[in-house]
Structure 1
Amino acid sequence: MYGTAQRVTARVSSVTVYQGKAMVTRRFEGELPEGIHTLVFGDLPEGIEPDSVQVRGTGAAAIGDCSFDVEYFADDVREAVRGLNADRLALQDRLDDLQAVVEAAGRELAFVESAAAFLTSDGCTDGQAAAQSRAIDMDPANWGRMSAFYREKVSALTAEKRGASRGLREMQAAMETIDARLSSLGRARRKSNTIRVELEMREKGKVSLDLGCMVNGPGWRPVYDIRVDSDRSMMAVEMRAFVRQSSGEDWSGIDLRLSTARVDVSGTVPELEALRLDLYRPRPSSANSYAGLEMKKEAMMSAPAPARSMADADMDEEVMEEQMSFESATVESGGASVLFSVAGGSGIGGDGKECRVTVMRREIPLALSYRTVPKLAEFAYLSGKARNETDYPFLPGRANVFLDGSFVSVSDLQLVMPGQDIEVSLGVDEGVKVEYRTLKRFMKNEGLLAKRKSEQFDYEIRITNNRKIAVSIAVEDQFPISQDQEITVRQLKPVIVAGKDGPSLDDESRIKWTARIEPGKRVELPVSWIVEYPRGGRLSGI
C-alpha cells in the first residue's frame, strides 16, 4: 500500500560511464515523519532501462516497492528548455513593441514629409478652388517657425526610429541565440520518466536514498598526450577521456567513473551448433505462358508432394535470418575490465558535446633508439620503448606525440597492460644527419674476346651525430640478389663474418649494422659489390 505521493528533488551524485551506457545514481536527503511515504523521482532522462533500477539508503526506514512510470505534459519537461522558452516569449513581446515603434515613427515621418511638400509646392492643379484652399501667410516669421518645427520633428522622429531599429536588431540577435541553444538541446520532451519508491519510516528522522539506473546513450573514448624528453630519456603519458551524454542533465560536481566493461555484450558463452552441409538444388523456374502454368498445375495435382531437401530448408532459414538480424559494429579492447575514478569531480553538460577530463598522468623511463634506411630516405627515425609501470592499462586510442616540446605526429595506441612494453614512433630527428653517397659505378671489360662483363657499385653511408648525447642507430642496406643463373653477385663491403659482432646479413641479403656515435662524431659505412653477366646483356632492377 502506497502512502501519499511526495515529489522529491534528487541531485545526480555519481555516474559510471560505459560504452553506450551509464549507471546514473541520484541522491535524496531529507527528514520524514513516521509512517509510509511514496517518494516520486521525476524529470528523469530518456533512455532509462526500467529493469536496471536500484535503490539503497540509510536511516530508520524500510524500502518497499519500486515502480517505473511515464508522465505526459503539454510543454517540455526540461527546466532549461522551459526557461529558454520563457525568455523567448519575453523577447518576442519586446520585439513586437519595438516593431510597432518603428512603424509608427515611419508613418509620422511620412506625414511630416508630405505636409512639408504640400506647403512648399508652387503648382496648383485645381484652378481657383485650389488657390483659395492654399491661402498661406507668407510672413517670414511664420516660415521660420514652420521650418524650425519641421527640423525638430524630423530629428526627433528619426532618432526614435533609429533607436527602435537598433533595439530591434539586438533583440533579433538575442532571439537567434536562444533558438540556437534550443536547437542544441534537441527535440522537445513532453514526457517525463518517473520512479516511485515506497518508504516506511519506523520513526521520524533523516534519510538518505540513492536511486541508480542504467541510461542508454552516454559513452567515452581515451585520448593520449605522449611527451618525450630526449635529454632526460623520460616519457610523460597523459591519459584523457572525452565523455559525452545527451540526457539533458548537467553532470557537475559528481563522482565520475569510467569503465571498460562491455555491458552491451552477453556474459554467456555462445554454443556452437552442428554445421551440416548438403548440395544446393535450385527450385524449377515457373513457366511464363498460360499453357505452361496449366501443365505445371496438373503435374503438381497428380504427383505426390516432393519432400523438401535439407538444402532447401537451410536456404530458407538462411534468408529469413538475414532479413531479421542485424549485426552491430564493436570495438574490442582485448583486456580485462578496468574502472577509472576521475578525481576532482567533473562538469559534463547534457547537450551531447564531448567534455575532456584527465584520467591520469605518469612519467616513465624511456629507451631511445634510431633506425635509418639511407638508400630509401636520408633520415634518422627516432623511436622510444618504455615499460608501462603504472597501475593503469593504456587502452586503444589516439595518441598525440610530442618530442622535446614540439608536436611530432598522431598515432594509434594499442592496448598495453601494466608490465607490458610500449613502443612510440617519434618521427625524424634532424639532429642526426644521414647521407647516402654514390662513390663510383664503373664497368670492367676483360678483353675484346671476353664473353662476360662485370660492373662494380661503390656507395658510402655517412652518419653525423650533432646531438649533445651519444646515439645508437640501426642502419640497413642491401646487396642485390641474382634472379638468373647467368648473373653473379660478388659482395665486397662490408665483410660479413657469421657469429661475430659487426654487420649481419639475412636471407634477403639485407645488411644490418648497429653503430654507436659519440656527440659531434661521424661514422662512415662502405657498401660495395660487383655484378657479372653475359656480354651484350642488360641488367634490370638496379
Structure 2
Amino acid sequence: MLATVLLSLAAWGPAQEVEPPSVPTSLDKVTVYQGQALVERVGNYEAAAPGVYRIQLGPFPMSAHLDTFHARVEEGTARLLDLEVRQAMGKAFESEERLGKEKELEALRRVRSDLEAELAGLDMEEKLVQAMIQAVENGRIPAAYADPEDPESLTRLFDLIRHRSRDLFQARTDWKRRQSQTDLQIAALEEELGQIQSSIRHLDCSLLLEFEQAGVANFRLSYLTEGASWQPTYEVHVAPDLTGVTVSLVARVRQSTGENWAQTRLLLSRTAPSLELEAPELPVRVLEVPRPGQVPETLAETDVGEGTLGDHRPGLPPHYPLNQRNTIASNGENHRLVLRQFRMQAETRRYIFPSRSRHAFVQAEIKVLGDSPLPEGPAKIFLGRDYLGETRFPLLQPGDTTTVHLGTDPHVSVEVQKVRDERDEPGALSSTVEITRVYQAWIRLQPNAPGPADLVVEEVLPVSGSGGVEVEPVEVQPMPLRDPDSVRDMREKGVLRWRMQLMPGAEQYLRWGYIYSFDEDAEPALLELPREGGG
C-alpha cells in the first residue's frame, strides 16, 4: 500500500506554478506633461467563484517608471491585494507573418497617399465653386459660366453651384471617414511591427485580486512614462484686407514612449506630475552674519517655490482637454491638435522710419477678447493664404495687446533727401562749432490702394550723451504728436512721432532737422545704440 502511494507521488512529480491568465487592457486616457506622460488603461476580469486570483497585464514599454505603476478596482466585488511589476523579454513574430504585415502597411500607406491626392482635387474643385460664387456676388459673371442677360442660363448656373456644393460636402465627409479609418489601421499595424524584434525587453504587471463572490471586476492601471511632450503654438490668420484676425491655439504633441496611443482621450497639462507621498519636514531656519572671509555653505531660500506646478502661471488653465479621441504614434514626430479657435480685435497701421527704410511696414495690434488668458508660445503668421513668418506671443491676459508684423505695404512709397548739412566754425570771440542737418520726406499712397491707410511715422534726433554737446530740433514740420508718451520719448530719446491717414492717391510731406553745438577742441561721434526694451 505504501509503495503504491510513493509511486503515485513520483508519477505526479513536483508541484508546478500555474501561469496567470493574460488579461488585455485598452488605452483610455493619456495626460501629457513636459517630458513625461501619465498613461491610464482599463480592463476587466471575471471570476467564476470567490477566491484570490492573479492576472497578468502587459506588455508595457521600458520607458515606464517601475515605481509609478498604480492600480485600483473601479467597479465590482473584488479588492486589490498586490501589484507587481517586472522586466520580461518579448516574443518575435515569425518571419512570414512579419513580411505580411509590412506589405499590409505599405499598401495602407499607398492608400493614404492616394487620399491626400484626392483631397487636393477636392480643394481645387471647392476653389472653382468659390470663384463662381464670387463672380455672381460681384456681378461679373464670365461668359464661360452663363449669359448674364439670359434668366434660364443664370438658373442653370445657380443649380450647378447648389448641386456641386452639396456633392463636395458629401465627398469631403466621406473622405474624412476613409482617412480616419486608414489612419487607425496604419497605427495598429505600426504598433504591431514596433514589437517585431528577436528580443523585445518590456515590462509586465501582475495584479492579485480577491473576490468576495463570483463576478466581474473593472480596474484601472496607470503609470508614468518618459519621452512625451507638447508645446502650445499659434496660427494667426489675418484677412487680406486687414479687417480681421483669426487665431488658432494649436498643440504640437510628440512622443517616443515605445507604445502608440491609438484613439485615446488626451489631456495636455502645463503642470508637472508629483510622485511624492510624504509631506516635507519642517527645517530650522537660522539667520546669522558670517565672520569676515567666511562663505556659508548653504543659503536657505524662504521664497515659496513652484512645487510641482511646472510652467503653470496665475490665470492660465493648468490643463487643456481635447474633446475628441486622437491617435499619436510613437515616432517622435509632431502631431497638430487644435485646442481653441477664436477671433481677436485688430487695429492695423503702417509704420515708417524714413531715414532707415523706404518701406512702410504693416503692423497689426491685436487685443485678447473674452475672459481666458493665452499662454506664451511661438506664432505662425499668415496673411490670407500667404505664410509670412514666425513670431512669439508673450503671456497674454484678457484685454492685453501684442503687435504682429505683416511685412511691407507695396502701395506706400517713401522718398527721403538731405536738404541742409552746414558747419559754422567759431568766430573770433567764440570757440563753439555748430552743425545743422535738415531732412525731408514724401510719403505717398498709390491710387490703386484698396482703401485709406493709417500711418505712424517716427524719426530719431541725436541726444546729448555728455555735457559737452547741446542738441536742438529745428524745422520740424508738421508738428509731431504732443501726448505725454510722445513728449517723454522726444525729451529722453529724441523720438519724433507723427500719426496720419492717407487716402488713395494722396501724399504727406515731412521735414525735420537738428543743430548740435560743441567746443572746437572736441569732435563728437554719432553712435547708434539699441533702444532699451527693444523699441
- Give the TM bin, normalised by the shorter chain: 0.5 to 0.7
2:82 counterpart residue number: 66
CA contact (8 A) 2:78 2:217 kept: no
1:295 counterpart residue number: none
Match of 2:460 among 464, 478, 490: 478
In structure 1, how many angstroms separate the alpha carbons of the residues matched to 2:251 and 2:94? 31
State the TM-score, normalizing by the size of structure 1.
Answer: 0.62
Number of residue equivalences: 404
Q: Which amino acid aligns with 1:475?
A: V
Q: Which amino acid aligns with 1:21?
A: Q
Match of 1:24 among 39, 55, 67: 39
Q: Identity over the aligned pairs, expressed in percent?
A: 18
State the SS of the aligned residue for 2:236: strand
In structure 1, how many angstroms separate the alpha carbons of the residues matched to 2:30 and 2:469? 74
Q: Which amino acid aligns with 2:342?
A: R
Note if 1:522 corresponds to 2:507.
yes
1:412 counterpart residue number: 392
CA contact (8 A) 1:488 1:533 kept: no
The Cα of 1:43 is off from its aligned counterpart by 0.6
The Cα of 1:30 is off from its aligned counterpart by 5.6
1:458 counterpart residue number: 438
The Cα of 1:254 is off from its aligned counterpart by 0.8
Q: Which amino acid aligns with 1:278?
A: R
The Cα of 1:525 is off from its aligned counterpart by 1.4
State the SS of the aligned residue for 1:378: coil
CA 218–232 in structure 1, closer or farther in 2 if over 3 Å, else same: same
In structure 2, how many angstroms separate the alpha carbons of the residues matched to 1:20 and 1:486? 57
Match of 2:493 among 504, 508, 527: 508
2:61 counterpart residue number: 45
2:98 counterpart residue number: 87
State the SS of the aligned residue for 2:290: coil
Note if 1:243 corresponds to 2:253.
yes
| 1:278-322 Cα distance to aligned partner (Å, 9 max, x none) | 344xxxxxxxxxxxxxxxxxxxxxxxxxxxxx76xx56x89xxxx
Larger Rg belongs to: 1
CA contact (8 A) 1:242 1:356 kept: yes
1:469 counterpart residue number: 451
1:8 counterpart residue number: 23
Match of 1:190 among 189, 201, 219: 201
CA contact (8 A) 2:247 2:341 kept: yes
In structure 2, how many angstroms separate the alpha carbons of the residues matched to 1:525 and 1:269? 70
State the SS of the aligned residue for 1:253: strand
In structure 1, how many angstroms separate the alpha carbons of the residues matched to 2:481 and 2:343? 41
Name structure 2 gaps, 5 residues minimum.
Answer: 1-16, 103-188, 300-308, 528-535
The Cα of 1:16 is off from its aligned counterpart by 0.9
CA contact (8 A) 1:333 1:396 kept: no
2:160 counterpart residue number: none
Written as runs of structure 1 = structure 2, the 5 A alignment for 1:128-207 is 189-200=200-211, 202-204=213-215, 206-207=216-217
Written as runs of structure 1 = structure 2, the 5 A alignment for 1:370-381 is 370-381=350-361
State the SS of the aligned residue for 1:87: helix
State the SS of the aligned residue for 2:332: coil
In structure 2, how many angstroms separate the alpha carbons of the residues matched to 1:380 and 1:84? 65
Q: Which amino acid aligns with 1:277?
A: P
In structure 1, how many angstroms separate the alpha carbons of the residues matched to 2:478 and 2:282? 59
Q: Which amino acid aligns with 1:415?
A: L
The Cα of 1:372 is off from its aligned counterpart by 2.3
Match of 2:374 among 377, 387, 394: 394
In structure 2, how many angstroms separate the alpha carbons of the residues matched to 1:531 and 1:419? 43
In structure 1, how many angstroms separate the alpha carbons of the residues matched to 2:473 and 2:437? 11
CA 248–478 in structure 1, closer or farther in 2 if over 3 Å, else same: closer
Q: Which amino acid aligns with 2:57?
A: F
Note if 1:541 corresponds to 2:520.
no
Written as runs of structure 1 = structure 2, the 5 A alignment for 1:296-315 is none
Q: RMSD across aligned C-alpha pairs, in angstroms?
A: 4.4
Note if 1:344 corresponds to 2:318.
no
State the TM-score, normalizing by the size of structure 2.
Answer: 0.63
The Cα of 1:182 is off from its aligned counterpart by 8.1
In structure 2, how many angstroms separate the alpha carbons of the residues matched to 1:337 and 1:412? 20
Q: Which amino acid aligns with 1:524?
A: Y
The Cα of 1:258 is off from its aligned counterpart by 0.6
CA contact (8 A) 1:4 1:38 kept: no
| 1:232-274 Cα distance to aligned partner (Å, 9 max, x none) | 5322222222222223222111111111112269897997664
Note if 1:213 corresponds to 2:223.
yes
State the SS of the aligned residue for 1:459: strand
In structure 1, how many angstroms separate the alpha carbons of the residues matched to 2:281 and 2:459? 50
Q: Which moved more, 1:35-44 or 1:501-510?
A: 501-510
In structure 2, how many angstroms separate the alpha carbons of the residues matched to 1:279 and 1:453? 55
In structure 2, how many angstroms separate the alpha carbons of the residues matched to 1:458 and 1:259? 58
In structure 2, how many angstroms separate the alpha carbons of the residues matched to 1:375 and 1:262? 50
CA 185–429 in structure 1, closer or farther in 2 if over 3 Å, else same: farther
CA 541–212 in structure 1, closer or farther in 2 if over 3 Å, else same: closer
CA 273–216 in structure 1, closer or farther in 2 if over 3 Å, else same: farther
In structure 1, how many angstroms separate the alpha carbons of the residues matched to 2:442 and 2:319? 51
CA 331–374 in structure 1, closer or farther in 2 if over 3 Å, else same: farther
Q: Which amino acid aligns with 2:264?
A: I
In structure 1, how many angstroms separate the alpha carbons of the residues matched to 2:393 and 2:471? 46
Q: Which moved more, 1:12-21 or 1:58-67?
A: 58-67
Note if 1:363 corresponds to 2:378.
no
The Cα of 1:20 is off from its aligned counterpart by 1.8
CA contact (8 A) 2:426 2:520 kept: no
The Cα of 1:21 is off from its aligned counterpart by 1.8
CA contact (8 A) 1:3 1:38 kept: no
Note if 1:491 corresponds to 2:474.
yes
CA 399–500 in structure 1, closer or farther in 2 if over 3 Å, else same: closer
The Cα of 1:374 is off from its aligned counterpart by 1.6
CA 489–183 in structure 1, closer or farther in 2 if over 3 Å, else same: same
2:267 counterpart residue number: 257
CA contact (8 A) 2:414 2:441 kept: yes
In structure 2, how many angstroms separate the alpha carbons of the residues matched to 1:445 and 1:82? 94
CA 279–258 in structure 1, closer or farther in 2 if over 3 Å, else same: same
Q: Which moved more, 1:474-483 or 1:505-514?
A: 474-483
CA contact (8 A) 1:334 1:415 kept: no
The Cα of 1:400 is off from its aligned counterpart by 1.3
In structure 1, how many angstroms separate the alpha carbons of the residues matched to 2:323 and 2:94? 32
CA contact (8 A) 2:416 2:442 kept: yes
The Cα of 1:32 is off from its aligned counterpart by 4.0
